[in-house]
Amino acid sequence: MSYRFALAGNPNSGKTTLFNSLTGNNAHVGNWPGVTVERKEGKCKKTSENIMIVDLPGIYSLSPYTPEEIVARDFLTLDRPDAIINIVDATNIERNLYLTTQLLELGIPTIIALNMMDELELRGDKIDIINLEKQLGVPVVPITASKNQGITELLEKALSLELGHDLTHKNALNNSKICDTIQTISDLLTANGYSNTLYNAIKLMEKDEKIKDTLKLSPSLNLAVDKAVAQAEHQTGQEIEMMIADLRYKYITESISKFVQKGRKEGDLTFS
Ligand code: GDP
Ligand code: K
Ligand code: MG
C-alpha cells in the first residue's frame, strides 16, 4: 500500500524542518498548478512503508482568503490525503490550535506533531500532553524537529492511524449553541448523497464564498440550507461566521488552555 501524508500547520511552525527530516530533503519542488505557491512532496525515508509526504503552504485557517489557504484547503478537501500530520508550535499552542479545530472537522485521520519542545522547555513552560490528547481525541506526539527528536515515534503513531478512512473526530463546535443547525445541515447533505458533511455544513454556515460552487447544491437543497442558517442567525442574533470563530477561541481557552502551564518568565524573577 502507498499512502499520502499531508503536513499542515501555521507558517513557521516547523513544517519544512519536519519535511526535511522525514524525506531526507529529496523533495520535488514545483508550483501548485495555476498558482505560485510552492509545492513540495517527497518520499518518506524513515520507514519501509511507501509514504509520500506533502508539505502544504503554511496557513492560519481553512477560510479561502489567501492563495496559500486555497491551495491547502483544496488539497485537503478535494485530494484528501490518507492522513494529516498537523504540526503545532508548542510555544504558541493556543494560536496554532485554531487551525487544528478546523482540520479536525475534515474527518481525515490526524495526528498532532507538537513541535519546538526544546524551546518550550527552555522557557520553563509545560504541556500536559496526556490530557491534551484526551481532549482533542487524536494522538499528540512531542517533537523537536530541528534536532530530529520524536520523529520515529511520530511516524510510528501516524502509521497506526486508520489511514485513508473517514473518521468523526471530536470538534470544537460540539455542544455549542449552533450544534443543532450543524446537525440539520449535515443531515440534509448526507440525505442528498454528500460526504464530508460536517466540514461542508460548517462552511455553508460560514457562507463561505467557494463552497456552494464546489458542492453544486440543487435549488431545493440550497433553499433548505439557507433557511437553516437564517433561522440560526435569527435565534442567536449574531452573524454566524463571527460566532463560529468565537466558539473556536472559546473552546481553546476553556477546554485546552488549562493543559498549558507557563513557567516563570525572566521578567518575573525576583531576587531577595
Ligand atoms: P515552516 O514555515 O512551517 O516551514 O517552518 P520552518 O521549518 O521553516 O521553521 C521555522 C523556524 O523554526 C526555522 O528557523 C527552524 O529552524 C526553526 N525550528 C523548526 N523546528 C524547530 C524546533 O523543534 N525547535 C526550535 N528551537 N526551532 C525549530
Ligand atoms: K518559514
Ligand atoms: Mg516552510
Ligand 1 atom 15, closest CA: 14
Average pLDDT score over residue span 99-103: 97
> Is the CB of residue 144 less than 8 Å from the CB of residue 115?
yes
For residue 58, which of 101, 87, 84, 36 has the smallest C-alpha distance? 87
CA distance 137 to 12: 25
Residues 177-193: pLDDT tens digits?
999 999 999 999 999 99
> ipTM score here?
0.97
> Is the CB of residue 208 less than 8 Å from the CB of residue 196?
no
- Strands 28-31, 38-43: pairing kind: antiparallel
Q: What residues does ligand 1 touch, defined as CB less than 6 Å away? A: 9, 11-17, 58, 115-116, 118-119, 144-146
User: Nine-digit cell at 234?
Assistant: 435569527
Average pLDDT score over residue span 121-125: 96
Residue 255 DSSP symbol:
I
H, E, C per residue of 107-148: CCCEEEEEECHHHHHHHCCEECHHHHHHHHCCCEEECEHHHC
